[in-house]
Amino acid sequence: MARVRDWLDTLSSAGVFNGSVLIAKEGRILLEGHCGFADTEGQVPLGESASFSLASVSKPFTGLAIMLLVHRARLGLDDVLARHIPELADYPGVTVRHLLHHTSGLPDHMWLADRYWDPGVTLTTADMIGLFVTHRPPARFAPGDRFEYSNTGYVLLSEIIARASGRPFVDFMAEEIFAPLGMNDSAAYNLTCPVCTLQCRATGMRRRFGCFGRRVASDMNYLDGVFGDGGIHASARDLLRWDAALREGTLIPTDAYEQAYTSGRLNNGTAIDYGFGWEIRPRHVVEHLGEWEGFATCCAGT
């Protein structure tokens, strides 16, 4: 761990790393480091309460929320999409399971937005669904035939969570996951939220000229009006609390959640390296990476 800490110190001193790192084993922290600042002006040092946009590391949280509702019999993994979002009945055969596994065949909403949406207006989930209803882009393949990473699928999962629970996605995550686990530095937050309740939300940033130049904000854009594929903010300490809850079955029995760590299968029986929001790796490792605007994230465990 000393070598890792030295490496982080070197990167921080060189100005090429600004963020938090936490490594733990069986709940015991082996290394924790917070390098740099939460703001572009360099006035707010990063600490253990600093919350970062998780980008696509939000997807395991979306998967957990779906599993909670399945466990409570509020929805089924093989429910068709139109059962929960009838506006999308033009995409028959797509199930919740397909959305979780990135095998739905639905086209990418970012392409639709780039073509049909005003980038000066924040795109919400309702707006995204409206683009599909209005323009009816064809499916890329039959549900279950291929794996194709899909942010769209996870945005739709967040809407299914909201409709099945009868609560906005932001409230469901706060009341059913963050508050029960004591994740006080975590929230679902994007441009549709009137205020940010996080104590210290790190601003996304980049160097003006690659690794050089002054820091400039690179935080959110017009696509940051949807949830599910991203939008979760959390501190490193809160991710450790979340990991402990998954291991101990605090929110959902471990045997019920095991499906999240299990590789999905295509229609022809081929296994894919993806579960319910988790990338499945050799040696019983699961992880997810994220990158969006001024953030890059990774969460991995065994």
Burial of 222 (0-12, 13-18, 19+ CB in 10 A): middle
- The answer on pLDDT for 212 being more than 70 is no
- 21 close to 239: Cβ distance less than 8 angstroms: no
Q: Quickly list DSSP for 145-207.
A: S-----HHHHHHHHHHHHHHHTS-HHHHHIIIIITTTT-TT-EE--TT-S----SSBPPPEEE
**How many CB atoms sit inside 10 A of residue 217's CB?**
13
pLDDT confidence bin for 75, thresholds 50/70/90: very high
- The answer on pLDDT for 211 being more than 60 is no
* Whole-prediction pTM: 0.94
What are the structure tokens assigned to 122, written together? Answer: 């924040």
pLDDT confidence bin for 215, thresholds 50/70/90: low
147/143 Cα distance (integer angstroms): 9
Which CATH number does 49-301 carry? 3.40.710.10
The dihedral over CA atoms of 93, 231, 126, 160, expressed in degrees to the nearest 10, equals 40
281/194 Cα distance (integer angstroms): 39
- 103 close to 93: Cβ distance less than 8 angstroms: no
Share of the chain above pLDDT 70, in %: 96
- The answer on pLDDT for 41 being more than 80 is no
Burial string for 194-208 (b: 16+ CB within 10 Å, else e) reads: eeeebebbbbbbbbe
- 236 close to 48: Cβ distance less than 8 angstroms: yes
Of 186-200, 202-216, 252-266, which range is least confident? 202-216
pLDDT in tens, 90-128: 999 999 999 999 999 999 999 999 999 999 999 999 999
Amino acid identity, position 64: L
Phi-psi region of 55 (alpha: psi -120 to 50; beta: other; left: phi over 0): left
What's the average model confidence in pLDDT over 62-84? Answer: 98
**pLDDT at 207 (0 to 100):** 63
What's the average model confidence in pLDDT over 12-31? Answer: 89
Of 66-70, 122-126, 165-169, 189-193, which range is least confident? 189-193
Q: Where are the domains of the chain?
A: 49-301
What's the average model confidence in pLDDT over 71-92? Answer: 98
pLDDT confidence bin for 294, thresholds 50/70/90: confident
In whole angstroms, how far apart are CA 88 and each of 66, 84, 92, 134, 274?
Answer: 19, 9, 8, 11, 25
pLDDT in tens, 47-57: 999 999 999 99
Task: Report which listed range, 3-12, 23-32, 200-209, is most confident.
Answer: 23-32
Please list the active-site residues: 56
Average predicted confidence (pLDDT) for the chain? 93
Q: Where would I find the beta strands (DSSP E) of the chain?
A: 19-25, 28-35, 52-53, 187-188, 205-209, 212-217, 232-234, 279-281, 285-292, 295-301
